[in-house]
Amino acid sequence: MTNAFTAAWQGRDAAARGNAARLGRMLADPRTRILPMWRGKPHLVARGPESVGLGLVEPGHPVLAQAETPLLYLGQQDGRAHFAADISRWEPEVLDRAALAMFTDTTHQIHPAAAPGAYFAELRLAMVQIPAAMATMAATARAVFNWHHTHRFCARCGASSDVAMAGWERHCAACGAKHFPRTDPVVIMLVTCGNSVLLGRSHGWPEGMYSALAGFVEPGETIEGAVAREVHEETGLTTRRIRYVASQPWPFPNSLMLGCVAEATSRAITLDDELEDALWLSREELLAAWSGQHERITPARLGAIAHFLIGEWLAGHV
């Protein structure tokens, strides 16, 4: 089973983030590669029917003409430095803004200076087609740029803050405060009862799509406590034997998904306003949905931790 964005690349090289001279040398090195990102979409290039690569460019490439500065230093991979550049100021000649706001944006944007076959596309749709370590790199860039877009002002004094440490911090010149990228912990849980699994769907999801329940961890709360609270709030069910399974960075926008399994003490569902629906699926029904053969239920997307948890449960691993 695939759990996207969990493979590490060669090294984040955090020690170099504050070394302006070394960063300058890397950006002058023609071997360095830069990942353009446009409004959260990575620059991709098709490698085959079911495979895509990151559309990396060299320093000074014309695609980077409208990049925000400084660039985000991602670290070392394949013996060379890698950066990411936010080029969201670029405006395509034709842009379907309604599609950009949809749950699943299937549109592609092609920069006029891009190499043949290169395009910007939604990361969720390509996450299992990109080589694993490079997909993590793209997810990291998206998460950090998300943070910069929403944290341009100092939370202490309200003054405008500046990008620092090769994109990994923001500093306030007015009061001296330092700010760091935010990651929100979210529990996502596969709730079982005997031979069945509980799945739910949120308002506005694509027709037929169901997934594991999920919710943010609150201050002063354990992972287990968050699982029990969220399940009870959304479905009225009480749970026991809550166990952590795996995690997944999820940059939509800035979450760390903490995957768990739990046992429900009953099957009586009482929905609240957060969910549109919730239902129990038998192992046989779940297998049909997971393999795309159920007549009305579509499972979580391949690569998402919900899909991973379902696969692990079906295989008897959790």
What's the CA angle centered on 261, arms 258 and 266, to 5 degrees?
A: 135
**Most confidently modeled range among 38-52, 91-105, 207-221:** 207-221
The reported pLDDT for the residue numbered 300 is 85
160 forms bridges with which residues in the sheet?
Answer: 153
Fold entry, domain 184-314: Nucleoside Triphosphate Pyrophosphohydrolase (3.90.79)
The DSSP call for residue 229 is H
Q: What residue type is 104 in one-letter code?
A: T
Q: Round to whole Å and give the CA distance between 293 and 287.
A: 8
Mean pLDDT taken over the chain: 95
Q: State how beta strands 255-264 and 184-193 pair.
A: parallel
Q: Is 146 exposed, middle or buried (0-12, 13-18, 19+ CB in 10 A)?
A: middle
- pLDDT exceeding 70 applies to what percent of the chain? 99
Residue 125 tokens read as 């749709």
The answer, yes or no, to whether residue 101 has pLDDT greater than 80, is no
The reported pLDDT for the residue numbered 290 is 83
CATH number of 14-149: 3.90.79
Q: Round to whole Å and give the CA distance between 276 and 91.
A: 36
The reported pLDDT for the residue numbered 1 is 66
Read off the pLDDT band of 136 (50, 70, 90): very high
The reported pLDDT for the residue numbered 94 is 79
Read off the pLDDT band of 196 (50, 70, 90): very high
The reported pLDDT for the residue numbered 305 is 97
- Asked whether the beta carbons of 96 and 64 are under 8 A apart, the reply is no
Name which of 19-33, 165-179, 261-275, 288-302 the model is least confident about.
288-302
Q: Round to whole Å and give the CA distance between 232 and 260.
A: 15
Instruction: Flag whether the pTM goes above 0.85.
Output: yes
Name which of 99-108, 180-189, 244-253 the model is least confident about.
99-108
CA distances from 138 to 9, 101, 135, 263, 266 (A): 11, 20, 5, 35, 41
